[in-house]
């Protein structure tokens, strides 16, 4: 009865003050109810579709200002699913979360108590892990090759390819085609040529020159294969079990 009175009868009466009973009923009663319901349903639709996975991307809830605006804060829904016991939806002061603000006000006047907050360190860890995941993904896209797709070859097969004229060298078990890079090599052609057909791991990692981070990134774009067993193992080589005998 209270619901019916406040939802429909009261708006009707207020409209009736200036003779518009139907206006009060339709606009402030029915259409308002429709809009409130639609905005509530947005928590289970738009909030699971639009925005960012701030804390976890294994499930669908997302954070977005637009959803927050029409759901009074529930739009920071990734947070809500990740830390459901926390009374907040948004934790940054400028994010729009009037539901949280109201609960806080009720607490000040004694109408709410024992408000739960998730541990700050856990929240930050969740966000950092997700940020890291996004960064890794961006990096993987930039490094056009995928290790899973590279062919695996024996050391002898690698040498065969070099004999056939390919400018391949290996570093830490991976085969790189440096053919198109030889002329651009800042350390000079002869230096990079000296690594072709060899295991250049030590050379690349400081034996000759300790290459920069950018060089590592650039090198990653030249991957063409993986050596079975990880490369030319010096001790096996000495016993004649791997690659050509020592000169
Ligand atoms: Zn949800």
Per-domain residue ranges of the chain: 2-120, 147-238
Q: Supply φ then ψ for residue 55, to 5 degrees.
A: -115, -25
How far does residue 30's CA lie from ligand 1's centre (Å)?
26
Task: Kindly list the strands in the beta sheet with 174-177, ordered across the sheet, starting from the edge strand earlier in the chain.
Answer: 152-153, 223-227, 174-177, 168-171
Which class is 147-238 in CATH?
alpha beta
Ligand 1 centroid from CA 32, angstroms: 23
> From ligand 1's centre to the CA of 129, what distance in Å?
21
Nearest to 227 by CA among 176, 177, 174, 162: 174
pLDDT digits (tens, 9 = 90+) for 193-218: 888 998 988 888 877 677 888 888 88
The pLDDT tens digits of the residues spanning 217-234 come to 888 888 899 998 776 655
Q: How far does the centroid of ligand 1 lie from the alpha carbon of residue 76, in Å?
A: 10
Name residues of the chain where pLDDT drops below 50: 235, 243, 245-247
């Amino acid at each position: 009865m209270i619901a019916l009175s406040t939802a429909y009868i009261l708006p009707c009466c207020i409209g009736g003050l200036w003779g518009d009973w139907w206006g009060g009923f339709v606009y402030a009663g029915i259409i308002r109810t429709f809009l409130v319901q639609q905005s509530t349903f947005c928590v289970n639709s738009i909030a699971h579709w639009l925005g960012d996975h701030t804390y976890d991307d294994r499930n669908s809830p997302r954070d977005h200002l637009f959803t927050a605006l029409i759901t009074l804060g529930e739009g920071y829904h990734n947070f809500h699913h990740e830390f459901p016991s926390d009374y907040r939806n948004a934790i940054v002061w400028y994010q729009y979360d009037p539901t949280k603000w109201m609960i806080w006000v009720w607490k000040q006047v004694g109408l709410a108590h024992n408000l739960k907050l998730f541990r700050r360190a856990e929240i930050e860890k969740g966000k950092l892990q997700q940020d890291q995941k996004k960064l890794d993904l961006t990096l993987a896209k930039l490094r056009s090759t995928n290790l899973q797709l590279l062919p695996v070859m024996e050391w002898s097969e690698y040498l065969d390819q070099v004999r056939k004229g390919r400018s391949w060298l290996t570093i830490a078990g991976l085969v790189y085609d440096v053919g198109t890079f030889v002329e651009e090599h800042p350390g000079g052609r002869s230096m990079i040529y000296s690594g072709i057909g060899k295991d250049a791991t030590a050379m690349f990692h400081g034996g000759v020159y300790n290459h920069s981070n950018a060089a590592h990134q650039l090198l990653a774009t030249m991957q063409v294969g993986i050596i079975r067993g990880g490369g030319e193992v010096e001790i096996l080589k000495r016993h004649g079990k791997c690659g050509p005998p020592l000169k």
